[in-house]
Amino acid sequence: MHPVLFAIDGFAVHTYGVTAGLAFLVGVGGAAIVGSREGLSWDFLWELALVIIAGVVVGGRLEYVRTRWAQYAAAPLDILDLRDGGQVFYGGLVGGVLAAVVFMRWRGQPAWRILDLYAPFIALGHAIGRVGCFAAGCCYGAPTDVPWAVVFPMGGKPPGGVPLHPTQLYEVGANALLAVLLFVLRARLSPGGTRPAGTTGGDGITFAVLLLGYTMFRTVNELFRGDQIRGTAVAGLSNGQVISAALFVAGLVIVGARWPRSVRPTGASA
């Protein structure tokens, strides 16, 4: 655990903030580079990046504050302090996607295609961001006796001196693998890719697989989490599991609506 990366004249630079910034840079920067090479406007992609960043920060912070309202009600100005954690991925994902879709529709851009463009970079950026979670000690695991358990020092967010599941590192590994899968899938389904001959459509499938893959992993990983401050939502399920279920259903709906379909030959009768 290394929550403070360094300090300058008493001003602490938090590891979480640095990794979050790097995650945003890799995510939106990588998507902008790839998208511009595929014919999308470079200026539009960077305008979109600013919109996404704003949506992620606001959405992630609002969800974090919601799960800890008693703490922030007593000190509301602390809501604005983002230096040492204080973001929830699902809130950021929903906030970023909603902001992006509204902006893309307003600008008349192909929303599903661009969501597919961003999908692998979301997973890659998420993997980087979870390194910051590990350094800050947030999102920690439950006590365990597995050989790969981690022990945090006393005085931090997680219980000190107790072997815990490294749930943050589980997230790093799972998101890195998911990013690879999504890069491969998008290359196959994108125009000019190796999608099955005689089919059309498919925009939105890569983004749907992001939702399906991550929510399945997250539902399981919640079982190993120990930061119970996140609370229980319904029938003993955590907030994360309930949100996972909702987004999993959304992913299935997208797959059903956007799956590539066979092209009917010209002149064929119904």
Residue 121: what are its φ and ψ, rounded to 5°? -75, -30
Kindly report, residue by residue over 91-127, the tens digit of the pLDDT.
999 999 999 999 999 999 999 999 999 999 999 999 9
Residue 38, helix vs strand vs coil: coil
Structure tokens at 140: 């920690």
Q: Which two tokens stand for residue 26?
A: 């890799």
Q: What is the pLDDT of residue 269?
A: 43
Type of residue at 69: W
Q: How far is CA 184 from CA 112, 178, 203, 247, in A?
A: 17, 10, 14, 22
Phi/psi of residue 3, nearest 5 degrees: -65, -30
Indicate the pTM of the whole model: 0.86
pLDDT in tens, 145-204: 999 999 988 887 888 889 999 999 999 999 999 999 999 999 988 755 555 554 555 899
